[in-house]
Amino acid sequence: MSLKIMPKNVMPDWVAHLNEHYRVVGPTKKLGKYVFDEIDAIEDLHLVSTPTALPPKKYLFPPRENLLQYRLDGSRMEATVISEPTVIFGLHTCDIHAIMLLDRSLSHTFHDQNYLAHRKDTYLVSIECLTPCTEHSFCRDMGTASAADCYDLHMLDLGDVYIIDANTRKGVELLEDCRNVFDALPPDVQRLNEALQAKWEKFNYRLEFDIVEMADLLGEMYESDLWSELGARCLACGMCTNVCPTCYCFDVTDEADLLLEEGGRSRRWDSCQVNTFAEVAGGHDFRARLAERQRHRFMRKGRYQMQTFGIVGCVGCGRCAMSCLVHITPIEVFNELFKRSGMEADDIEEVVAS
């Protein structure tokens, strides 16, 4: 770890310099919403923002992407990996945790070459959240209110300056040609520690149980009636998974030209919540009921990914809660499951006692 101090008046020149060598993206405001988009001037960059409509995942795992080109006679088949050096500014700490999960998921048993190519060419510049970014977030409960160790640079606003942790060689590279950036001194480190200590009183716990109990709770409540209640509300629109920073399911399609000589294969984001996701040849659907899809979504976030990768699949960003048209929110679902688990345990004890 290498701590640097950057006066805020240096930021415009630094961003302009990076724009000469990289594609620079960050939170911008459009139609009243924050979105990740290319930054042409410092005025476009909003380092303090509510969660963006789509997560930064879209630069590492694009909504639609070409995978390969081929000739139908078999004479040519080549992978298509199009990537460019990109600096992503303004990543919230929850999004850094989400990228850490994507790193593990997409290089676990199968190495996703497209994702890994984008990841290699991407520089992550995150910022410490000193206050909750939205009423829907619950990052402290999920252990994501502090940055995971996969960023390149991590910034914290100290008022007149940013204190920056250069965590990787890539991070150091971004600062190499930046003038008026200094090594942090002991008083700067003291201000950093004071800011980090002061933030926690602003982040309330919203989960009614400890996160380490999540996987067991979901396993225990697999047959809960709550899933049918959620299924009765769900519209199967897939919005929750589209805005989720940790979802990575996709569909693959082949498209050939009119002469049936050449074609291409592409993938696009898919959602476990839509009607045809689990449908196979012959018309059988392994999760035809909305209740089953809702259960699968929460099981995957709170149990399956924890069991496989050691990380809870929900980072508490609140995007799905902000986007759901029928107001299905993870924190309320998890708390309701916990409440019902206690009620069911009491019922069992009463039966045994009688």
Quick one: pLDDT at residue 348?
Answer: 40
Q: What is the DSSP string of 98-109?
A: HHHHHHHHTBSS
Could you give the 3-state DSSP secondary structure of residue 15? helix
The conformation of residue 206, written as its DSSP 8-state character, comes to -
Quick one: pLDDT at residue 351?
Answer: 38
Q: Which residue spans within the chain are E strands per DSSP?
A: 2-7, 23-30, 33-38, 64-71, 77-79, 86-91, 122-127, 153-157, 161-166, 182-183, 250-256, 262-269
What's the rounded Cα separation, in Å, for the pair 87 and 21? 10
Quick one: pLDDT at residue 347?
Answer: 52
Could you give the 3-state DSSP secondary structure of residue 300? helix
User: Does 344 score more than 60 pLDDT?
Assistant: no
Q: What are phi and psi of 269, to 5 degrees?
A: -55, 140
Q: What is the pTM of this model?
A: 0.92
Count, residues in the chain: 354
Structure confidence by residue, pLDDT tens digits, 135-178: 999 999 999 999 999 999 999 999 999 999 999 999 999 999 88
Structure confidence by residue, pLDDT tens digits, 291-315: 999 999 999 999 999 999 999 999 9
Report percent pLDDT > 70 for the chain: 96
User: Does 246 score more than 50 pLDDT?
Assistant: yes
- The arithmetic mean of pLDDT across residues 276-289, rounded, is 90
SS3 letters for 234-278?
A: CCCCCHHHHCCCCCCCEEEEEEECCCCCEEEEEEEECCCCCCCCC
